[in-house]
Amino acid sequence: MSKIAVIKTGGKQYKVKEGDVLKVEKLDEKTGEKIAFETLLVASSDGKDVNLGKPSLGEKTEAKIIEQARDKKISVIKYKNKTRYLRNKGHRQSYSKVEILKIA
């Protein structure tokens, strides 16, 4: 049976299992480095065995950074009718792609 965990990073929580690849807010580490996330909950896949942290468990979830990149550009436009007001601004969000290696 595989384990399911809830981890916390970048102010968000993610439900993960071993082998998952997910995009999270940019992390300071380099590509290929291993990192540990704060684990909030660990459960078995059938849901019978659940360990809940208050606020977190002592164990950490290990992951490896696969890629550091930036998303597609989005355009942020402000417009007011009949007043000649138009502002156009672009934004590209940085992210890290991580693979979950081990859930403690």
User: pLDDT band for position 5 (50/70/90)?
Assistant: confident
70 close to 1: Cβ distance less than 8 angstroms: no
Predicted TM-score of the model (pTM): 0.79
What is the rounded CA–CA span in Å between residue 75 and residue 21? 27
Query: Position of tokens 């590509």?
Result: 31
Give the tens place of pLDDT for each residue, 43-63: 776 667 777 777 777 678 899
45 close to 3: Cβ distance less than 8 angstroms: yes
pLDDT score for 100: 94
**How would you classify the pairing of strands 94-103 and 60-70?**
antiparallel
Give the tens place of pLDDT for each residue, 21-39: 999 999 999 999 999 988 8
What is the rounded CA–CA span in Å between residue 101 and residue 80? 50
Angle ∠(86,94,30) on CA atoms, nearest 5: 160
